[in-house]
A = this chain, B = another copy of it.
Amino acid sequence: MSGQGRSGGRPTLEEVAVRAGVGRGTVSRVINGSSKVSEHTRAVVEAAVAELGYVPNRAARALAANRTDAIALVIPEPEARFFAEPYFSDVVRGVGATLAETDVQLVLTLAGGERERRRLAQYLSGHRVDGVLLVSVHAGDPLPELLAELGIPAVISGRRSADETLPCVDSDNLAGAAGAVRHLLGRGRRAVATITGPLDVYGAQCRLDGYRQALAAAGHPVDELLIAPGDFTEEGGRRAMRELLERRPALDAVFAASDVMAAGARLELRAAGRRIPQDVALVGFDDSVVARHMDPPLTSVRQPIEEMGRTMARVLLERIAGGPADAAVVLPTELVVRESS
């Protein structure tokens, strides 16, 4: 912080070299912690670095080394609203935690409409980041292919299908859903309904599969009329619940594939005079703020979002380094039992 500057600017590698009485190459080696530098020289250089308060110039480094030491996190704007809550900040926190150990910076990119999407493509072709973190990509999204073409490493969360081509990090949607349903059955519920997410989203499909498997494993036949499609929105949840109550008035439990839909379902159940959990038990998915503050507090399946962020970043860094990285990581979920079930 003391104003060292001989000529105004921050010190350069060259100046450190002069100060330490060595060559540029040597200082560079020390800075990059690499290869063969004698114990003594290293000490001298480090002293000079400290004295001058030298900090390498990122742009120069990027230019010379042809890497940016930056990765991008692409946020699909439109959805952002939905999973805004803890999701967004938790992912960022996780990613940040992994990156904190390194010298890699996190660039945030909002890719909403067609237009932003195009800009993003431009942006990425500019080779402005070493890698990309993708979150919740839709089936038809061209971005993954573009990245592959450009040879930019990428990691995805929320795989697009069972055979995702990109390395991906997901939570165990199937097991989480199955656990929730098992929990309901375990509490003596007989007619367990489910409100699904949009089934073209792979994760939503998995949750439905989990529902089916849990039922099957318990020897219950699956009643298709107990399955209602939702779309991850509150309104969608209400609609689905209404439908279910009409078709199967005797249901005594509902597993909603998201907390927000559960919130919608709750309103509808109230309106129909059903008490939660006495008449109908309700379980959600995500363990979001909504779940904790619902009345009654909602039992929900928690995803380790922050850890997913950490893992995504780790896998991407490995990928960038060229090392062998996991192609798919699935992290366990956890059922958080509250008063709604």
Interface residues in chain A, defined as those with a beta carbon under 8 Å from any beta carbon in chain B: 1, 10, 53, 55-60, 62-63, 68, 70, 73, 75, 77, 80, 84-86, 88-90, 92-93, 96-97, 100, 105-110, 116, 119, 122, 125-128, 146, 149, 263, 288-290, 293-295
Provide the bound-state CA to CA distance between A286 and B321, in Å: 43
CB distance from A118 to the nearest CB of B (A): 11
Contact among B62, B86, B110 for A96, CB-based, below 8 A: B110
Number of copies of this chain that the complex holds:
2
The answer to whether A108 touches B127 (Cβ under 8 A) is no
Return the chain B residue nearest A3 by Cβ.
B149
- CB-defined contacts of A116 to chain B, threshold 8 Å: 100
The answer to whether B126 touches A57 (Cβ under 8 A) is yes
CB distance from A65 to the nearest CB of B (A): 9
Return the chain B residue nearest A65 by Cβ.
B59
The answer to whether B289 touches A55 (Cβ under 8 A) is no
A10, A55, A89, A107 pick with most chain B CB within 10 angstroms: A89
The answer to whether A10 touches B127 (Cβ under 8 A) is yes
The answer to whether A89 touches B80 (Cβ under 8 A) is yes
CB distance from A304 to the nearest CB of B (A): 16
Provide the bound-state CA to CA distance between A70 and B129, in Å: 13
Return the chain B residue nearest A295 by Cβ.
B295
Return the chain B residue nearest A67 by Cβ.
B59
- CB-defined contacts of A119 to chain B, threshold 8 Å: 100
Provide the bound-state CA to CA distance between A140 and B59, in Å: 32
- CB-defined contacts of A55 to chain B, threshold 8 Å: 122, 125-127
30 contacts across the A-B interface (CB closer than 8 A)? A1-B146, A10-B126, A53-B125, A55-B125, A55-B126, A57-B127, A58-B62, A58-B128, A59-B62, A59-B63, A60-B63, A73-B108, A75-B92, A77-B96, A80-B89, A84-B89, A88-B88, A89-B89, A92-B110, A93-B110, A96-B110, A100-B119, A105-B107, A105-B109, A105-B128, A106-B109, A107-B108, A263-B293, A289-B290, A290-B293
